[in-house]
Amino acid sequence: MKNHHRSVKVLRRGDLAKLTGCNLETIRYYENIGVMPEPPRSSKNYRVYDDRHVARLRFIMRARELGFTLDEVRDLLALVDGGAQTCGEVQGLANAHLASVRAKIADLKRIEHVLSSTVAQCSGDDVPECPVIDALTEVA
């Protein structure tokens, strides 16, 4: 028979921050914008967090590490919170994000190429002429 009464470790915000590696101010911010739920309060009016808060914060942090915007994180959480998410819906959001990441990579490769060729034109000498400065002052 399963035990339906799991023990819940009660944490304060500082504990949550240490446990997850998330900055205290970031946790406050996530609460203020609604991606982290407002935690209940203890009898001494301290915010108390539990394993669900830890899991949610880790989800948010991992999504942010993967470059999801806060709006995209909110959309993912809405699917999860609704409890009726499908893999297809999540895949749709992830594919849209992946397309955005690929576009950024293409932009960065273009920037790298332009900078690399411009820097290669520099003599590095103590002269006033500089191809980098010239490239930056060109009218497109």
Scan for tokens 């002429």, then name that residue: 129
**Predicted pLDDT of residue 2:** 45
Domain range list for the chain = 8-66, 86-140
**Predicted pLDDT of residue 47:** 92
Per-residue pLDDT of the chain (140 residues; tens, 9 = 90+): 444 445 457 899 999 999 999 999 999 999 999 999 989 999 999 999 999 999 999 999 999 999 999 999 999 999 888 877 788 889 999 999 999 999 999 999 999 998 999 889 888 788 788 888 888 888 76
- What is the residue type of 59? F
At the top level of CATH, the class of 8-66 is mainly alpha
**Predicted pLDDT of residue 108:** 97
3 state DSSP class of 47? strand
**Predicted pLDDT of residue 140:** 67
Q: Is 68 exposed, middle or buried (0-12, 13-18, 19+ CB in 10 A)?
A: buried
